[in-house]
Amino acid sequence: MRLFRSSEVVGIAADALDFAREAARDTHPNEYMGFLRGEPARNFDLDRTGTVITEVLIVPGTRSDETSATVDNNMIPNDSRAVGSIHSHPSGAIRPSDADLDTFGQGRVHIILGYPYGPDDWRAFDQRGELRELDVLDVDLPDPEEFFDFSEADLDLDDGRSPR
């Protein structure tokens, strides 16, 4: 099973990009790193085929300093919704380094966020490190807090002991 999808990535949800920019600011002056997950564009009633980046996955145990971020490969989930990676350059340079190019082999899109992490301080690249277009899309994403919005009645417990 392939870890990364083969369909074209047509854009990134504005909320996902905003989350990553905020995480990069919070991590500064160290590098920030995450992985990108997507959903079919048809889930958002877009007149396009392909995938929309909807989430940034933070991998537990990621270590970073001012010049690099390292992920423990054993902690990366085998995720069929994975589409690429995202990381920051605290120096402000928005181009892939040789080390970045070595990690771009998996996934369709790789985003670099440059200091000061403003709305235009990012670029998307393909697997070869070539600049590519990536639209920022204003789509409605599910509220992650809704995942935790339930009560004991929603669990359908019998006499409060165990699920049926």
Active site members: 31
14 SS3 class: helix
End-to-end CA, the chain:
34
Cα 124 versus chain centre, distance? 12
Half-sphere exposure of 99 (CA within 13 A, CB side): 7
The set of residues, in sequence order, having a beta carbon less than 8 Å from that of 75 and lying 6+ positions away, is 59, 60, 61, 62
CA distance 121 to 65: 20
Q: Residue 47 belongs to what H/E stretch? A: none
Tokens standing for residue 80: 């069929």
CA distance 16 to 9: 14
CA distance 90 to 114: 6
